Amino acid sequence: MDEAPLLEGAEPQGSIWMQRDILLLALCWAITLTTSTLLTTIGPLAAQSLGASDALAPFSIGIFLLGAAASSYPSGMLFRKVGRFLGFSVGCLFQVMGSVFGCIGMQCDSLFSMMVGCFFVGLGQGLGQFYRFSAVEVSPDHLKSEAVTLVLTGGVLAAFAGPTSANYSKDAFGEDYLGSFFIMGILGTMNVIVVSMVNFKDTYAFEKEDDPTRSSNASSAVSGISTGKADARRPVLEVMQQPLFVLSCAIATVAHTVMVMLMVRYFAVPAFISPRFHYYRVLVHVPVPVPVRACLRTS
């Protein structure tokens, strides 16, 4: 018996919750962000326990963000050369290395080693930010707009898991916050396992650098819009001179600066695991419009 044809304008069947790869990528992002929230929770306090001043202690968050920025730019070249799986695995390796340096710093009372560990965790965070774009590549056409949102929702899980793991692991091995850095290594290892279960579609990995169609295909996969022509890649300086890029970069800079200021304000107090702390962490990662989020924070 022939199947009945789909009605005109009807969406293809299949729910986003039935897409295994998208759910796995959401879990990858949740684990990555759990490591980040764990670090930003205990970073300044761990630095203070090693003798850092009140002015230097928040730099543990600053060097973490520097690491995330440092790995963001070359990540595109890395993913093109080695593919999605190996690229994300490198990010997980950075998180494990950050855990090792952090444990050495806490065990040997070395503030420098602890800061190096924060930098490596930031490198892993910078690569992990591309999970959302991989979700677009592995999802069907009718679910691409929802895939990014679902992956970002993993931040809600991290908002609870990060501070909670910090609360229960900070005194796990006797030394202050040694257990917290150890947990970061476990999370990085878990992330590698979950990433290995994703069926990535590296259609343009290992392609030649002079392929004129690769840039337009990649941008079309993310935006879902086809330009109908193959444009060559533009130089970075040309992109940076575009007014839209300058405006977007300025908005992102101001938004992240305000967020980090609030993070340092909350993390600098001794009773950092408090109801208002959890409330704040949830608001940071829930994907809601900015005005709504601002009203919730004010309330």
* Three-state secondary structure of 212-261: HHHHHHHHHHHHCCCCCCCCCCCCHHHHHCCHHHHHHHHHHHHHHHHHHH
**What is the residue type of 125?**
Q
d(CA 18, CA 287): 21
Domains of the chain plus CATH, in order, are 21-203 (1.20.1250.20)
Tell me the HSE value of 268 on the side-chain side, using a 13 A CA sphere: 15
Q: Please report, in tens digits, the pLDDT of each residue of the chain (299 residues total).
A: 444 444 444 444 456 556 788 889 989 999 999 998 899 888 888 998 898 888 888 888 889 989 998 988 888 888 888 888 999 999 999 999 999 999 999 999 999 999 999 999 999 999 988 888 888 888 877 777 788 888 888 888 888 888 888 888 888 887 788 989 999 999 999 999 999 998 887 654 444 444 444 444 444 444 443 334 444 677 878 888 899 989 988 998 888 778 767 766 655 544 444 444 444 444 444 444 444 444 434 44
pLDDT at residue 14, as a whole number: 57
d(CA 95, CA 73): 18
pLDDT at residue 232, as a whole number: 60
pLDDT at residue 144, as a whole number: 78
pLDDT at residue 118, as a whole number: 94
Quick one: which of 113, 98, 262 has its CA closest to 180? 98
| Residue 239 burial (CB count, 10 A) | 11
